Amino acid sequence: AYANDNDLSHSYIVSVSSLIPPTVCNRTRTALPQGPGKVSLEVLGRYGPCSKLNQGKSRNTPSLEEILRRDQQRLHLKNSRRLQKAIPDNFKKTKAFTFPAKTGIVAADEYYIVVAIGKPKQYVSLLLDTGSGITWTQCKPCIHCSQQRDPFFDPSKSKTFSKIPCNSTTCKILLEWFPPNGQDKCSSKECPYDIAYVDGSGETGFWATDRMTIQEVNGNGYFARYPFLLGCTDNNTGDQNGASGIMGLDRGPVSIISKTNISYFFYCLHSPYGSTGYITFGKPDTVNKKFVKYTPIVTTPEQSEFYHITLTGISVGGERLPLKASYFTKLSTEIDSGTIITRFPAPVYSALRSAFRKRMKKYKMGKGIEDLFDTCYDLSAYKTVVVPKITIHFLGGVDLELDVRETLVVESVRQVCLGFALLPSDPN
Amino acid sequence: SILLGNVQQRGYEVHYDVAGRRLGFGPGNCN
């Protein structure tokens, strides 16, 4: 009954009901990666059934459309940042130059860890974001904190908390790296920072230092940094959906990676179908490391802040898309834990969509989701379906064969979508 | 450019060897 042009060895045969994410937390993993020189923490999805931020209340979970809309907003802001970086410094300093998009980060989505700040320790949940650098948390007192369900960090209760003074050299450098909106110097004794989101929300706050502790639940693994530079947010108009901040993991000058001796970390992000994931700060065991396949991180100055790698091709159902490897290698590929959906430029997305649709032609197409997904299927008439395997190829012979649940985004059995999207065009 | 989001990272352990300037993918499923 299967279409002739498909090769079953390059496809998944799955039951349609198994595509629907579970609503009950199922912790199946028994142990986190452990050993000398490393610290492992549980990673939770903030919208998933194991999330402590949701408090088990479905009303706290935004719709898929809303989550995807936020993901798209994040993309627009990232594009704006790139645009700003492309402009020469001497031009930025001219009076005639004004830039509409502000430097900063937008809320990462999906995955968080719990860390301790201060002495005595106060535990806060921070979203993991390899696409941004500033680690910030919501501090008391705050003006708009109604959305937040996690405890706030209260600086007045920490013996090790210090504000970065306005007149310090550190503040001067920070203001240069992260210029606050509408002001170029301190308005009080604090050293200000300002994060703006494209939807009009944002945070204002000030730079501070305190003790940051990353500790395993069993207390064995332990990592502490003091003083650790962090943003202390006092006015949050955005909805972080329960999380109380972001851990910036990029390669920029203020991230936890740059400011500590962490030179290696790895994570496993569970799918909605699994239970919980983990992040480990430190190197893996030699035995495990031999199963890891590496591709180089691009190190040009323009790409030094984030994690850029080189994609060489994509296969659908065992067949490479008809785009030359030289075309792919000219593109810059950033891996980002804070972005949900993979975005491709038009030629790549078009070729991928075409190849996928060709192999799924026996199934009835369904309604799309937002402007993001245009290749969706109504699978309500089927018990099992055959989905072509998608493999992403990277420099160094690294092949990422995606599981069916990393290929599809499922709203319901009537809306099962190819889980890739078109990169937004110039966001001017 | 291309942006590789977290849906497509989920099946793998993603390794950031920052000092070694390389990024790796290992067996995943978080088990």
Q: What is the ipTM of this complex?
A: 0.97
Instruction: Using an 8 Å CB-CB cutoff, list chain A residues near B29.
Output: 268, 274
pLDDT for A225 equals 84
Model pLDDT, residue A57: 52
Per-residue pLDDT at A417? 94
Nearest to A342 among B4, B21, B27 (CB): B4
CB A423 within 8 A of CB A347: no
Higher-confidence position of A195 and A306: A306
Report d(CA A349, CA A355) in Å as an integer.
Answer: 10
Closest to A242 (Cα-Cα) out of A69, A73, A126:
A126
What band does A112 get if pLDDT is binned at 50, 70 and 90?
A: confident
Burial of A59 per CB tally in 10 Å (0-12, 13-18, 19+):
exposed
Q: Which of A262, A291, A402 sits opposite B27 (nearest CB)?
A: A291
Local confidence band at A58 (pLDDT 50, 70, 90 cut-offs): very low
Cα gap A249→A334, rounded to integer Å:
13
- Cβ-defined contact of A294 to B14 (cutoff 8 Å): no
Chain A contacts of B18, Cβ < 8 Å?
A: 251, 257, 262-265, 297
Residues of B in contact with A402 (CB under 8 A): 8, 11
Residue B20 CB coordination number (10 Å): 15
For chain A, what is the mean pLDDT? 80
The helix (run of H) or strand (run of E) holding residue A391 is strand A390-394
Instruction: Assess A379–B contact: CB distance below 8 Å, yes or no.
Output: no
Residue B29 one-letter amino acid: N
Contact A72/B at CB under 8 A: no
DSSP A98: -
The answer for residues whose C-beta is within 8 angstroms of residue A225's C-beta and 6 or more apart is A211, A212, A256, A259, A260
Look at A277 and B30 and tell me if their CB atoms are within 8 Å: yes
Position A73 scores a pLDDT of 72
Chain B residues in contact with A127 (beta carbon < 8 A): none
Distance from the Cα of A107 to chain B's closest Cα (Å) equals 14
Tens of pLDDT, residue by residue over B5-16, are 999 998 799 999
Return all residues near A96 (Cβ < 8 A) that are at least 6 apart: none
Q: A422 to chain B, minimum CA–CA distance in Å?
A: 9
A-chain residue closest to B21, CA distance: A297
- Strand order from edge to edge, sheet including A376-377: A376-377, A415-418, A408-412
Tens of pLDDT, residues A356-382: 999 999 999 999 987 789 999 999 999
- Residues sharing a CB contact under 8 Å with residue A314, sequence separation 6 or more, in sequence order: A320, A321, A323, A328, A348, A351, A352, A390, A391, A392, A393
Cβ–Cβ below 8 Å for A264 and B26: no
For residues A324-342, give the mean pLDDT. 91
pLDDT score of A100? 29
